Amino acid sequence: MKLLIQRIVMLMFGLFLLIQLWIFLSLCWWKFSPVQTTMFMRIDQWQHPDAVIHHQWRDYDEISDQFKRAVIAGEDGKFIHHHGFDIDGMMAALQRNKEDGEIVAGGSTISQQLAKNLFLYNQRSFLRKGQEAIATWMMEMLWSKQRILETYVNSVELGENIYGVEAASRHYFHKSSAHLTRDQAIFLAALLPNPKYYQEHPNDSKFKFRKRFIAKYIRYSQLPE
C-alpha cells in the first residue's frame, strides 16, 4: 500500500511538471506568434461542436487605444504597475469570500485572467487559482506588459462564440477594431465580466453601471510602452 501511494504521488508530481512545461513552452512560442486558440475557445467548441468560433487576431498597433484604455479602466487599473498580482485587490476578494462563506470574487488582474483564458477553465476553485498563479508568474517573467495586453484583448470572450476585440467590433459595430469610438470601446469593455448575459441584456443595471464607471476612469488608464 505504501509503495502504491508513493507511485501515485510520483505520477501526480510528474503530471504537474508536464503541465508547467506545456505552459512554459506555449508562452515561449506565443511571445512572438499570434494566439489563434485558447482553452476557453476549445471548451466552447467541445460544448457546442456545431458552433462557429469568431476570432481574428490583430496586432497591438491595429487596435484602438480607446479599447485598450477602457479594458484597463474596467478590469485592472494598476495593470502597468504590478507584476501580475494586485495584492490589495486579492485581499479585498479574500475578505468578501470569507464573509460569504464561498469563493465569489477572485481579485484577478488582466494577467491572471489571460492565464486562465489561455490554459484553464472558468469554475472557481483553489486548485485552479493556484495553477493560474503559476502561469501568471511565468507570463510576467517572459512577456512584456504590451504583449500581455495585446494577447488579452485578442482572446477575451466578448459574446456568444465571440473572442477578441476584432471579432466583437465587427459583430456589434460592423467595423475594424482600429476604428472603435470611445463609447463603442466602453460598451465592449463593459461586457467583460459576463459577456453572454450582457449581450442579451444591454439594459441590465450592472452593465449600465460598468459603462458609467469605465467612462469615468478611462482618462486615467495608462498604456504600456
Please report the pLDDT score of residue 7 as a whole number.
83
- Domains of the chain from N-terminus onward: 2-220 (1.10.3810.10)
Please report the pLDDT score of residue 53 as a whole number.
95
Going by C-alpha positions, the residue among 122, 94, 106, 107 that lies closest to residue 38 is 122
Please report the pLDDT score of residue 202 as a whole number.
93
The grid coordinates listed for 126 are: 483553489
The answer to whether residues 139 and 111 touch, using CB atoms and an 8 Å cutoff, is yes
Q: How far apart are the two ends of the chain, measured CA to CA in Å?
A: 57
Going by C-alpha positions, the residue among 222, 59, 31 that lies closest to residue 153 is 59
pLDDT digits (tens, 9 = 90+) for 185-215: 999 999 998 999 999 999 999 999 999 999 9
Q: Rounded distance, CA 94 to CA 115, Å? A: 20
Q: How many residues does the chain have?
A: 225
Report strand pairing: 162-163 vs 54-55.
parallel
The answer to whether residues 112 and 106 touch, using CB atoms and an 8 Å cutoff, is yes
Please report the pLDDT score of residue 122 as a whole number.
80
The answer to whether residues 180 and 218 touch, using CB atoms and an 8 Å cutoff, is no
Q: Rounded distance, CA 79 to CA 177, Å? A: 21
Please report the pLDDT score of residue 109 as a whole number.
95
The answer to whether residues 168 and 159 touch, using CB atoms and an 8 Å cutoff, is yes
Please report the pLDDT score of residue 21 as a whole number.
96
Please report the pLDDT score of residue 121 as a whole number.
84
- Residues 163, 213, 148, 117, CA torsion sign: negative
Whole-model pTM?
Answer: 0.90
pLDDT per residue, tens digit, the chain (225 aa), is: 777 787 888 889 899 999 999 999 999 999 999 999 999 999 999 999 998 999 999 999 999 999 999 999 999 999 999 998 888 766 766 666 555 555 545 578 999 999 999 999 887 788 888 999 999 999 999 999 999 999 999 999 999 999 999 999 999 999 999 999 999 999 999 999 899 999 999 999 999 999 999 999 999 999 998
Q: Rounded distance, CA 108 to CA 176, Å? A: 29
The answer to whether residues 214 and 189 touch, using CB atoms and an 8 Å cutoff, is yes
